[in-house]
């Protein structure tokens, strides 16, 4: 069983994917971490994330970097969005994601092109979203909780810029996959969003041949 969870930054898709993993007892892959690892690797190498050759050379990162706390920073998130526009980078990471998706027993993947590119034949697909204002507020609170000093205007601008890059890129743009259910978490608590996600997945699984 493969479950695809897509959506923009701070929509809640990661939290929902993890909860689905616990509910269905399936392994979960945050595919965004792969692109964050590329972005961080480019940064450490002194390269340019907007230069395809620099980004591609960073795709051979060691698995150890996936546990680096720096991957969760807003700065690295922006780098991930920038390197993800390169088709060669996406191609280099596709097989890694598909291998995870097709492991025995199934898996859950969250990202931006899971239902459209990585696993278009997934047994269940959800597109998680939320308003820019709500997503910025979530990032703001998260930064405060980690001892940061966030600026709301900067967070809003960053999210809008990332949305534009993700939705307008030529290759695998962020969009709701065919057959995916829309889940707007703007006005939902975490528990309510998770329960709604489970209900949507259950309904899709029941109707899946």
pLDDT digits (tens, 9 = 90+) for 80-116: 999 999 999 999 999 889 999 999 999 999 999 999 9
Residue 70 φ/ψ, nearest 5 degrees = -65, -20
98 closest CA partner among 15, 196, 29: 29
Mean pLDDT of 124-139: 97
Tell if the pTM clears 0.85, that is, is over it.
Answer: yes
pLDDT digits (tens, 9 = 90+) for 23-58: 999 999 999 999 999 999 999 999 999 999 999 999
**Residue 129 three-state SS:** strand
C-beta separation of 135 from 10 below 8 A: yes
Domains and CATH numbers, the chain: 2-198 (3.40.50.300)
């Amino acid at each position: 069983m493969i479950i695809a969870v897509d959506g923009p930054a701070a929509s809640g898709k990661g939290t929902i994917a993890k909860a689905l993993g616990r509910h269905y007892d399936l392994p979960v892959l945050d595919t965004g971490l792969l692109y964050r690892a590329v972005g961080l690797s480019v940064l450490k190498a002194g390269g340019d994330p907007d230069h395809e050759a620099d980004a591609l050379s960073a795709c051979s990162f060691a698995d150890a970097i996936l546990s680096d706390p720096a991957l969760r920073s807003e700065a690295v998130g922006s780098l991930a969005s920038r390197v993800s526009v390169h088709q060669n980078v996406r191609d280099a990471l596709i097989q890694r994601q598909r291998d995870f998706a097709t492991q025995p027993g199934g898996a859950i993947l969250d990202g931006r092109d899971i239902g459209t590119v990585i696993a278009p034949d997934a047994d269940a697909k959800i597109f998680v979203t939320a308003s820019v204002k709500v997503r910025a507020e979530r990032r703001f609170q998260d930064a405060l909780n980690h001892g940061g000093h966030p600026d709301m205007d900067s967070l809003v601008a960053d999210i809008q810029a990332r949305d534009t890059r993700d939705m307008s890129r030529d290759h695998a743009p962020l969009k709701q996959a065919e057959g995916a259910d829309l889940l707007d978490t703007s006005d939902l608590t975490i528990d309510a969003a998770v329960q709604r996600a489970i209900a949507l997945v259950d309904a899709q699984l029941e109707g899946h041949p």
